[in-house]
Amino acid sequence: MFVSVKPFFETNLVLQMTNLAIIEDCKHWRLVIKHYLQQDNKFNIVLNCGMGNHFFKNHKALNIDAIIVDISLPGENGFQVMRRLSIECPHIPFIVLTSSNNRSDYSKAFDCGAKAYIQKHIIANLSEELSVGLGLINRKNGYNHLPFCFNDLDLIEMIVKHKMTNEEIGAALKLKNTEPKKAVENMINRVCSKYNIRNKRLYIMEFYLNYAKF
């Protein structure tokens, strides 16, 4: 669900080592995450926790730039931990890394304040995905140095927020075209081309809504 996109911008978070905290109950997954994140010297794992309480007891003494949190956790579950993070650490962005592809989990995570929702099956690309995500969070204004226009946002919201198909988008936009599905595909291609997005799979669109401050 998450795409692999090379960052097109420069931010302090990406150019410098990013200090990460991990909240993941499975020791195997903690080791796997550490393995993939430390391959290219972008990320420094300063706290590796098996449950939320461990994080809250130890984080204050550390300089943490971002947090990776699982949903299935012992004690306080991931959503409870996220709500605490939003209250106790509002200045630190947190990103969900989970095996769940449940839409209700996805919605609840963002309701709790998550900045991104990454599925574990893309773990081999995790470093690149975090670089893009954290860069977009840090930029706070548009994508790839370009502001968003409202027509683009309308299209993106139909895809991401309303989960509409190309046919449904064509009908909503009242496209007077013999092939509305192809016309919508061309519109999506135009948006990707405009913002220099090389992979147009759906999740890159979610970056806009979750990281850009309109």
Q: Tens digit of pLDDT for each residue in 13-42?
A: 334 688 999 999 999 999 999 988 888 788
Give yes or no: residues 101 and 17 share one domain: yes
Q: Kind of pairing, strands 43-49 and 116-119?
A: unpaired
Q: Looking at 96, 120, 139, which one is the last position of a domain? A: 139
Measured N-to-C along each axis, helices 27-37 and 126-139 cross at an angle, to the nearest 10 degrees, of 70
Name the residue type at position 204: I
Same domain, 22 and 128: yes
Q: Give the burial class of 31: count Cβ atoms within 10 A of its Cβ; 0-12 exposed, 13-18 middle, 19 or more buried.
A: exposed
- Would 157 be classed as within a structural domain? yes
Among candidate residues 110, 139, 168, the one where a domain is terminated: 139
Q: What is the model's pLDDT at position 62?
A: 92
**Tens-place pLDDT, residues 122-147:** 888 788 777 766 765 554 434 444 55
The count of domains in the chain is 2
**Alpha-carbon distances of 70 from 79, 82, 119, rounded to whole Å:** 9, 10, 10
| pTM greater than 0.85 | no
Q: Do 175 and 115 share a structural domain? A: no
Q: How far apart are CA 140 and CA 110, in angstroms?
A: 17
Do 135 and 11 form a contact (C-beta atoms < 8 A)?
yes
Q: Are residues 97 and 185 in the same domain?
A: no
Same domain? For 106 and 37 the reply is yes
Kindly state whether residue 7 falls inside one of the protein's structural domains.
no
- Find the helix packing angle between 180-194 and 150-160, rounded to 10°: 120
How many angstroms separate the CA atoms of 32 and 154, rounded? 38
The answer on 35 and 131 residing in a single domain is yes
Residue 4 lies in a domain: no
CATH number for the domain spanning 75: value is 3.40.50.2300
Q: Are residues 119 and 43 in the same domain?
A: yes
Residue numbers of the domain that contains 101? 12-139
Rounded to an integer, what distance in angstroms lies between the CA atom of residue 48 and that of residue 27?
10
Are 164 and 77 within one domain? Answer: no
145 lies in some domain: no
pLDDT per residue over 51-74, tens digit each? Answer: 999 999 999 989 998 999 999 999
Query: Rounded to whole angstroms, what are the CA distances from 71 to 2, 6, 106, 198, 211?
Result: 17, 27, 10, 30, 21
For residue 33, being part of any structural domain is answered with yes
Determine, yes or no, domain membership for 69: yes
Other CB atoms within a 10 A radius of the CB of residue 203 amount to 18
Same domain, 21 and 125: yes
pLDDT band at 197 (very low <50, low <70, confident <90, very high): low
1 inside domain? no
pLDDT given for residue 55 in this prediction: 95
Task: Kindly report which listed range (34-38, 185-189, 204-208, 209-213) carries the lowest average pLDDT score.
Answer: 209-213
* Domain end call among 115, 139, 163: 139
- pLDDT value at 4 more than 50: no
Give the residue-averaged pLDDT of 147-175: 77
- Residue 181 resides in a domain: yes
Q: In what side-by-side order are the strands of the sheet with 116-119?
A: 43-49, 18-23, 66-69, 94-98, 116-119
